Amino acid sequence: MSITRPSLTSEYASTTPLQVRIDTHARHSEHPDDPVAAVLAALALTGSEDLADIGCGDGRFLAQLAEQGHHGRLVGLDNSTAMVAAADTIPGIEGVLGDAQALPFADDEFDAVTARHMLYHVSDPYQALRELWRISRAGSRVAVSVNHPATCARTRQLVLDRAAERGLAPAVGMVNDVNSTTLPKMLSVVFGEVHIRQCDNALLFDTPEPVIRFAEAIFSFCGIDAASPHRSAILDAVTTDIHDWFTAHPGQCWRDPKGYIVATATVR
């Protein structure tokens, strides 16, 4: 049986798994939480800034800014063509294909720079941080968000266990060790003083279906590629596990702790 290994390229070849994860967090968080609003609060924008969102995904952060009447330039960069294509269709947004570690922008081009939930994918995160600094004008705000290290560990472990039964292990190189524990020091090395906002929460599900959808949306990080011949058997096993848990725990919710930080710095 041929083995197909997931990669960041395959994971982000389509916007769907990312959108399922974002929608799950929006609908099933224990406490109200809006990671876009958390970054916007940290940036305290006036509306006139030229802003670059690095690793912009489908562009919804920039779309929200445009809807709010932000009149500075809004640029979304991503190294996935699917993500850039999605961002580029949003009126007022410039979608740019590129790598966070070698940004196709001039020195001092922006007044605000964000890297939201993406630095943990980059092979040289210090190089990416130096690039954020390089493209930022003096006085710019830079905001970087990353997850707590054990975010959604319960659902992830369930999938990992079922993947391991079929000889699959998490793909190497998809996620590095940049998380809420390691990021503050890294950011201070490049930017100096750093301010941290911590957002602790949990996913909370009262029915099996959204847990199953979320579990499937993290398959690639657990070593299960979209084209893996084991994929449907693993999904069946995960589906059974989750249904069995709800049957054995009537009236209870599937709770999976999660969290992230928004780290901000001002460029001197």
Ligand X SMILES: C[S@@+](CC[C@H](N)C(=O)[O-])C[C@H]1O[C@@H](n2cnc3c(N)ncnc32)[C@H](O)[C@@H]1O
Residues that bind ligand X (CB under 6 A): 8, 12, 18, 22, 55-57, 78-80, 83, 99-101, 116-118, 121-122
Q: State which residue, 160 or 178, has the beta carbon closest to ligand X.
A: 178
Closest approach of Cβ 163 to ligand X, in Å?
Answer: 20
Token pair 């709010």 is at which residue? 68
Q: Take residue 30 and report the two structure tokens written for it.
A: 């224990």
Closest approach of Cβ 112 to ligand X, in Å?
Answer: 15
Q: State which residue, 118 or 237, has the beta carbon closest to ligand X.
A: 118
Token pair 């929460």 is at which residue? 201
Q: State which residue, 143 or 242, has the beta carbon closest to ligand X.
A: 143
Q: State which residue, 78 or 111, has the beta carbon closest to ligand X.
A: 78
Contacts of 145 (CB under 8 A, 6+ apart): 35, 38, 39, 115, 116, 117, 260, 261, 262, 263
CB 266 within 8 A of CB 140: yes
For residue 61, which of 133, 118, 140 has the smallest C-alpha distance? 118
Cα distance between residue 267 and residue 142, in whole Å? 7
Closest approach of Cβ 130 to ligand X, in Å?
Answer: 14
Name the closest residue to ligand X (Cβ).
57
Closest approach of Cβ 265 to ligand X, in Å?
Answer: 18
